[in-house]
């Protein structure tokens, strides 16, 4: 059994902590949390789980095998680096760091010490997203012509990161996963800051790949809560709506171009259209729901035991951060 310590228990931390505590293959020794109010919350909510304020206490604790980092994004790199250098496996919430150089440093330390390093790209462990991946890999939807994602809401404005860095890592990670982590050919982003100077509240990100394109729209100024990804294939199309009761809908729709017009000649219309429009059934598959965080935590522990690189390991995280960097620079 692995002894694990979590660093930070703010907005997202309780969800991670709950799933760590429910996993039979790990034992949560304590939580590092400098805020006294949050310490009291942890003790009330999680059966008097011990808390410590000083992160150095953790780094010197040789009984701890792994660290889960759920602190603010600007602390991720230094805390992950400290933990790796202290010979501890590391799970760090997204983003793994705030630059590609930082991710490369963490990756190199993890590889050198043969430690598991994994980032919390939770949607890679979502059964609905994995269903889409299977549809693409099996050829069921044909060639992926384009994808677009919308992650919109009204509120929870942040000051440490903009809407792009707050929301887009999810969708970039999903798109990279669905397409087998390709290297983009071109990246362009446009955003505007309406509420706080220098912090974009809305962004439109375009990614061009070798054979497909993707668009990501993120905002915390939108009237509706939207969490949607649409994959348009040459055979079928898939809509993933994370807010809806039925997460996945597969549309047997498309437009085909005839390769030989003579075979499709309609003599009543001597100039037939070279296109065939298909509109078939809509399929709503039954997807058994498992909490993605539960699957994610299990994957982290399995990787510690097997030594395999995590699905959301440093190489995947590196590409996500690189896209975000290039989007920001554009």
| C-alpha span between 103 and 121 (Å, rounded) | 14
Confidence of residue 330 (pLDDT cuts 50, 70, 90): confident
- 23 and 166 in a single domain? The answer is no
- 159 and 224 in a single domain? The answer is yes
| Among 147, 35, 165, CA closest to 97 | 165
Statement: residue 323 has pLDDT above 70: yes
Confidence of residue 9 (pLDDT cuts 50, 70, 90): very high
- 115 and 215 in a single domain? The answer is no
What total of structural domains would you count in the chain? Answer: 2
pLDDT on residue 51: 96
pLDDT digits 0-9 by tens, 86-124:
999 999 998 899 999 999 999 999 999 999 999 999 999
- 70 and 25 in a single domain? The answer is yes
Domain range for 15 is 2-121+292-311
- 176 and 42 in a single domain? The answer is no
- 175 and 28 in a single domain? The answer is no
- 186 and 257 in a single domain? The answer is yes
Residue 193 included in any domain: yes
Residue 41 included in any domain: yes
Query: Measured in whole angstroms, how far is the alpha carbon of residue 29 from the centre of its chain?
Result: 27
Residues near 23 by beta carbon (within 8 Å), at least 6 away in sequence: 294, 297, 298, 301
pTM: 0.89
Statement: residue 40 has pLDDT above 90: yes
- 215 and 280 in a single domain? The answer is yes
Residue 25 included in any domain: yes
Statement: residue 263 has pLDDT above 70: no
Cβ atoms 108, 101 nearer than 8 A: no
Helix (H, G, I), strand (E, B) or coil at 192: strand
Which of 245-259, 275-289, 311-325 has the highest average model confidence (pLDDT)?
A: 311-325
| C-alpha span between 79 and 322 (Å, rounded) | 21
Residue 318 included in any domain: no
CATH of the domain at 221: 3.30.360.10
- 57 and 138 in a single domain? The answer is no
Residue 134 included in any domain: yes
- 24 and 91 in a single domain? The answer is yes
User: Dihedral of CA 192/198/201/206: which sign?
Assistant: positive
DSSP 184: P
- 68 and 147 in a single domain? The answer is no
Instruction: Average the pLDDT over 69-80 and give the result.
Output: 94
Residue 23 included in any domain: yes
Residue 33 included in any domain: yes
Residue 319 included in any domain: no
CATH of the domain at 62: 3.40.50.720
- 167 and 274 in a single domain? The answer is yes
Cβ atoms 292, 122 nearer than 8 A: yes
| C-alpha span between 132 and 240 (Å, rounded) | 8
Confidence of residue 268 (pLDDT cuts 50, 70, 90): low
| Among 152, 150, 165, CA closest to 222 | 152
């Amino acid at each position: 059994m692995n002894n694990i310590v979590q660093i930070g228990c703010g907005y997202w931390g309780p969800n991670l902590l709950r799933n760590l505590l429910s996993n039979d293959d790990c034992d949560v020794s304590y939580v590092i949390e400098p805020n006294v109010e949050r310490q009291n919350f942890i003790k009330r909510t999680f059966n008097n789980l011990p808390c410590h304020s000083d992160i150095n206490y953790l780094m010197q604790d040789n009984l701890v095998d792994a660290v889960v980092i759920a602190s603010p994004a600007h602390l991720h790199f230094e805390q992950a680096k400290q933990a790796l250098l202290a010979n501890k496996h590391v799970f760090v919430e997204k983003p793994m760091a705030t630059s590609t150089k930082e991710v490369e440093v963490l990756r190199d330390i993890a590889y050198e010490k043969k430690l598991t390093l994994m980032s919390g790209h939770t949607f890679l462990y979502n059964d609905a997203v994995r269903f889409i991946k299977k549809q693409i890999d099996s050829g069921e939807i044909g060639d992926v012509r384009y994808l677009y994602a919308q992650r919109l809401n009204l509120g929870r404005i942040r000051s440490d990161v903009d809407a792009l860095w707050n929301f887009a890592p999810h969708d970039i990670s999903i798109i990279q996963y669905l397409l087998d982590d390709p290297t983009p050919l071109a990246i362009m982003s446009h955003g505007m800051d309406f509420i706080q100077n220098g912090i974009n509240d809305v962004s439109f990100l375009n990614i061009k790949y070798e054979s497909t394109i993707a668009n990501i729209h993120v905002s915390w100024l939108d009237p509706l809560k939207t969490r949607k990804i649409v994959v348009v294939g040459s055979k079928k199309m898939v809509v993933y709506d994370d807010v809806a009761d039925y997460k996945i809908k597969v549309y047997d729709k498309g437009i085909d171009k005839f390769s030989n017009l003579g075979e499709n000649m309609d003599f009543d219309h001597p100039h037939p259209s070279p296109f065939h429009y298909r509109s078939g059934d809509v399929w709503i598959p039954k997807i058994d729901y498992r909490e993605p965080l539960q699957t994610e935590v299990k994957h982290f522990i399995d990787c510690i035991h097997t030594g395999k690189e995590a699905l959301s390991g440093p190489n995947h995280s590196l590409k996500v951060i690189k896209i975000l960097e290039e989007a920001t620079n554009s």
